[in-house]
Structure 1
Amino acid sequence: MPRTRLDADSAARVATTLQALATPSRLLILARLREGPCAATELATEVGMEQSACSHQLRLLRNLGLVVGRRQGRSVIYDLYDNHVAELLDQAVYHTEHLRLGLPDTPDTDRPAG
C-alpha cells in the first residue's frame, strides 16, 4: 500500500471516517457487509439492532461513502462501497487482535527509521 502524507484538509476527512468507525454498531454492520450484500431488514436482525437504529447507521455510513444501497423491489440491499472499506476493517481487527494477544508484528521495512 502506498504511503501518503496528510495535509490539514485530508486529515480532517480521514478523522471523520475514523470517527464513523468508532461505534460498535457501525463496525458490526460493516463486518456483516464484509461477508456480502444484505437487505436492510435482514441486516438489522443479524447485528441485533432495531430496524430504525440500523437504518440511521446505514444512512450515516452511506453519506460517508463507506456503504452503498440499491433498491430491489421493496427492499434496500446494502454493500460495502469498495474493497478499501473491507481492507480498513480487516486492518483494524488485525491490529486490535495483535494488541490483545500481545503478539509482535514484523517491522515495516518501508517505514523510515527514526
Structure 2
Amino acid sequence: MVAPPPPPRVAECRLQIEARVDRWYPLGDAAWIVVVEAVRVHAHPEIVAGPHHIDPRAWRPLIYNFRHYFELGRELGRTFRADTPGRCAGAEGGAGREPGGAAPGPRPTALRARPPGCPAS
C-alpha cells in the first residue's frame, strides 16, 4: 500500500502540527470544542534545538490576542520542565537572557526551578 501524500502546508509557517480529530462537542449555537491527537510535527531546521526541542528564541510565532497581533517578547522565565539541550536559565547566551547577554528582570517564583544539569547562576 502506498502512503497518501502529505497534506498541504503553508511555507511561511516554520512550525506546523498535523492532527487527527478525535471528538467534538457543540458549544452553544455557533462554536465547537474540538479534541485532536497530534500525529506529526513539522519544524523548519533553523528552529530545531535538538531531537525533540524547538528553540523558542528562533521561532517567532504570530500571537492573536483579543483582535490584535503580537510577537513574543523577551523570555520571562521557564518551568521546571524546560530541558532544552544546552540551554540553562541564566547561562551566557542561554534562556533567560536577552540577545547580546543582557539579563532580564526578576522572574516569578514559580518559574525559578532549573532543569537537571543546569548550574546555579
Which protein shows a greater Rg? 2
Higher normalized strand content (fraction of residues): 2
Task: State the TM bucket, normalised to the shorter chain.
Answer: under 0.3
TM-score in terms of structure 2 length: 0.22
Higher normalized helix content (fraction of residues): 1
